[in-house]
Amino acid sequence: MQEVAAKVDKETKYATQPSLAEANTKAMKLLSSGDPLYRDINGRPRNIRFIALFRANVHVRRQGIDWTRVSWELLLEWLYENWTTILKVLMSLLVLI
């Protein structure tokens, strides 16, 4: 996702949409760091990056997707084509945190 965010930023795809451009910049910053990202959940700091990766892994396994057979080039292409929708979903989820 970091590569897609960087590609979108490089192409200035959201030059006319400042809210999406800002969201893309923040996504690029968030995804470029490998450090834990802590948020207060139920009064305790939790590493939400780890939780997100864990939940994504569980979901993918339940769907029967074998990560070793995934075409990463096709995945990156799909992410790029749907990046606007992905950013809008991420922005809507930030309200819940």
pLDDT digits (tens, 9 = 90+) for 48-59: 778 877 887 787
Q: How many CB atoms lie within 10 A of CB 67?
A: 9
Interatomic CA distance for residues 57 and 96, integer angstroms: 21
pTM above 0.85, yes or no: no
Instruction: Say yes or no to pLDDT of 97 above 60.
Output: no
Percent of the chain with pLDDT over 90: 0
